[in-house]
Amino acid sequence: MNILIFGPNGSGKGTQGALLMEKYGIRHIESGAVFRQHISGGTELGRKAKGYIDRGELVPDDITIPMVLDILKAQAGKGWLLDGFPRNMEQARKLHEALTQAGMKLDYVVEILLPRKTARERIMGRRLCVNNNNHPNNIFIDAIKPNGEVCRVCGGALKTRPDDQDEAAINKRHDIYYDEKNGTLAAAYYFKDLAARGETAYIELDGSRTIGEIRADLLAKLN
Ligand code: AMP
């Protein structure tokens, strides 16, 4: 099973992606995480990519595309969930070309839709419980609003993550994602067109709902 997942930062892509990996026993190939591994391992590739990543820019295609395609080839036949790639039209075309050449089928493309304003609020509204990072608290989501000033699960103190409050950084990431001409949404629509021609299946999920609702919708749309 080979799956591609799209969704802006703040859409719950990680959560739904985890569900897909568990259901199909497939490997997570996350371009951002691969870069971070290269950086911490001190590789040549990591050294080249670091400056772009620190500035919140895309790493150039001549570095990113071969890196991801090599991992996909090594994983051929075992199944994967590709996350964070493609992020522009060139990456989309090259991915399609490589899959065709390798005779690899793309079973599903999943897009989690969320208005930009909502995605930004979700990130900025996140609150971390000092007792447990997994206790869900968000001042902008009714279903998981904190209990006053404290954690809704255990009553622990709440804090924010500094990068969640950096509006300029969030905007930069969303500028790339929501660009329908050459950005990540353009790449998603490239695969949506392929789905219209029967080359793959395209699943759209309304990301403004609760995690459980999105999960149920996703499960119903698979098969
Ligand atoms: P992420 O963890 O997905 O937010 O990725 C972290 C950073 O890695 C991004 O801000 C980019 O600098 C870089 N990156 C990840 N995926 C790609 C990609 N497909 N193309 C270019 N740069 C990428």
Assigned domain for 131 exists: no
pLDDT tens-digit series, residues 60-87: 999 999 999 999 999 888 999 999 999 9
Instruction: For residue 106, give the CATH number of its domain.
Output: 3.40.50.300
Ligand 1 pocket, mutate which of 29, 30, 53 (most atoms under 8 A from CB): 53
In a domain, 156, yes or no: no
Report residue 48 as tokens.
């080249």
With b for 16 or more beta-carbon neighbours within 10 A and e for fewer, the 148-159 pattern comes to eebbbbeebebe
* Structural domain containing residue 70: 2-115+168-222
- Give the predicted TM-score (pTM) of the model: 0.89
From 4, 31, 123, give the residue whose CB has the most ligand 1 atoms within 8 Å, as the site to mutate.
31
| Closest-lying ligand 1 atom to the alpha carbon of residue 86 | 19
Assigned domain for 145 exists: no
Mean pLDDT by 10 residues, the chain (223 residues): 94 89 94 93 96 89 96 91 96 97 95 96 93 89 92 96 84 94 98 97 95 93 89
Residues 6+ apart with CB under 8 A from 210: 143
